[in-house]
Homo-oligomer: A and B are copies of this chain.
Amino acid sequence: MSCHPDRERPLDGDIDPQEMVSSRKNTVFVDGVILNGPTTDARAGEKFVEEACRLIMEEVVLKATDINEKVCEWRPPEQLKQLLDLELRDTGEPHQRLLELCQDVIRYSVKTNHPRFFNQLYAGLDYYSLVARFMTEALNPSVYTYEVSPVFLLVEEAVLKKMIEFIGWKEGDGIFNPGGSVSNMYAMNLARYKYCPDIKEKGLSGLPRLILFTSAECHYSMKKAASFLGIGTENACFVETDGRGKMIPEELERQVWQAKKEGAAPFLVCATSGTTVLGAFDPLDEIADICERHGLWLHVDASWGGSALMSRKHRKLLHGIHRADSVAWNPHKMLMAGIQCCAFLVKDKSDLLKKCYSAKASYLFQQDKFYDVSYDTGDKSIQCSRRPDAFKFWMTWKALGTLGLEEKVNRALALSRYLVEEIKKREGFKLLMEPEYANVCFWYIPPSLREMEEGPEFWAKLHLVEDINCMMPRL
């Protein structure tokens, strides 16, 4: 990798870098590479972006609301591999071929914005967050220090402040993360740091068995978090739920006592506001009482249910959430901010989040900068480069206002309610239970089973046909 500028510069001896950029007559070779001018044809590149944008606009955005379009051109894996030209070769493809590839990718992808796509967490197309997402892709920022992401750091601060207000805290702290699962991990680690700050340096080895409590209906990320953080899945206690899928507070307290009796160290209760399947809300006030009595951190996984906080009518579902120590809330679900947009919010304002997460990398988080370095929030994160996810929610909030977001939530719940009434009226459909949120769970009973009694045989046969259907409204 040695440099032989003289030997390898056939036309000129000593070239000024300014000249190197502007002049193409004097070729500069270094290590066998011609350095003059850019290697990319910017005009052709820009034209490609323009053409692709037209395609995206026509094939994805405009068709997103067209009920006559397919949700997906479905193909099984082996067949789809044949249809797509997936292989990566030595030489590149021309723009026209790339545009065809883009068209194929769109054709065979699921249109998650389609009005007839009913699946986990999607609520439809929001034009404002989409624009914000296009902007951030073009700007390609990383939100760690103010000097690199001035606007996006201030936007994140503004959004967090407003979300904290809706939780009902006077003040707080927080950070946006790549997923509610990661937010739940943040909570688990922060609660354990609060319980014993030495763990950051010393680790868990030699400590008593830390134990946490969550409901049997909680999101599966609780298990993943307990395992990832070295706590162990067996030390996540799954508290029994009632018939509606809500944690039973008496069961929680009984298990806390039991754990203490066994010499384990309870440190955290994770309540769920809006469970994944049933959309159940744990009784936060009663759970908060128990946490207070036992000195336990209360985290509320409101990844799905948090959006109800935007509605004056429905926020009572989360009654008591202001008593939580931390909250996970994903505006990318019902509030349509685009995957991912996930806030982890903390009541503490004594810089606990930063103390727990900081590694003080001196090349990035210098303390002698020419601005207030408290805006360099990157050291609160487990990530280094981080996407400006708060911005897409900010844009939607700007566009719709709080009242517009409230209307989305009210509409989602009204649509679910309407679906429930329709299910009740129709032959061959069986509602699992009256929903309290936007999840409507039901069975479709095929004609061959409609006359059968609901015994073990009926259920065995029905399970062969399908799992429970869980439908979420489109907005």
Contacts and interface: CB of A to CB of B under 8 A. Distances in A.
Interface in A221-271: 221, 223-235
Interface string A415-432: 101101110000000000
Nearest to A202: B232
Interface bin, chain A: 35 or more
A458 interface: no
A158 interface: yes
A154 B226 CA distance: 30
A447 B117 CA distance: 66
A343 to B, nearest CB: 14
A375 B77 contact: yes
Given A84-B154, A90-B402, 9 more contacts: A35-B418, A78-B372, A88-B159, A130-B137, A178-B383, A189-B228, A205-B206, A205-B210, A220-B384
A76 interface: yes
Interface in A365-414: 366, 370-372, 375, 382-387, 391, 394-395, 397-404, 407-408, 410-411, 413-414
Contact of A226 (B105, B125, B203, B207): B203
Contact of A232 (B113, B199, B372): B199
B401 A89 contact: yes
B210 A31 contact: no
Count copies of this chain in the complex.
Answer: 2
A154 B79 CA distance: 11
A359 B102 contact: no
Contact of A151 (B84, B120, B391, B475): B84
B135 A60 contact: yes
A106 interface: yes
Interface string A1-18: 101010000000000010
A444 interface: no
A398 B363 contact: no
Q: Which 5 A-B pairs have the closest CB atoms?
A: A203-B232, A230-B230, A45-B127, A178-B178, A220-B361
A1 B314 contact: yes
Contact of A399 (B5, B93, B192): B93
A340 interface: yes
A131 interface: yes
B30 A371 contact: no
A195 interface: no
Interface stretch (A141-149, A285-293, A346-354): A141-149
Interface stretch (A50-58, A167-175, A319-327, A448-456): A50-58
A31 B130 CA distance: 30
27 contacts: A5-B421, A21-B67, A86-B154, A87-B158, A88-B398, A92-B398, A98-B398, A98-B399, A109-B150, A110-B139, A110-B141, A110-B148, A110-B149, A112-B140, A113-B140, A122-B140, A179-B383, A189-B227, A199-B232, A200-B232, A202-B232, A202-B235, A203-B209, A203-B230, A204-B232, A227-B357, A227-B359
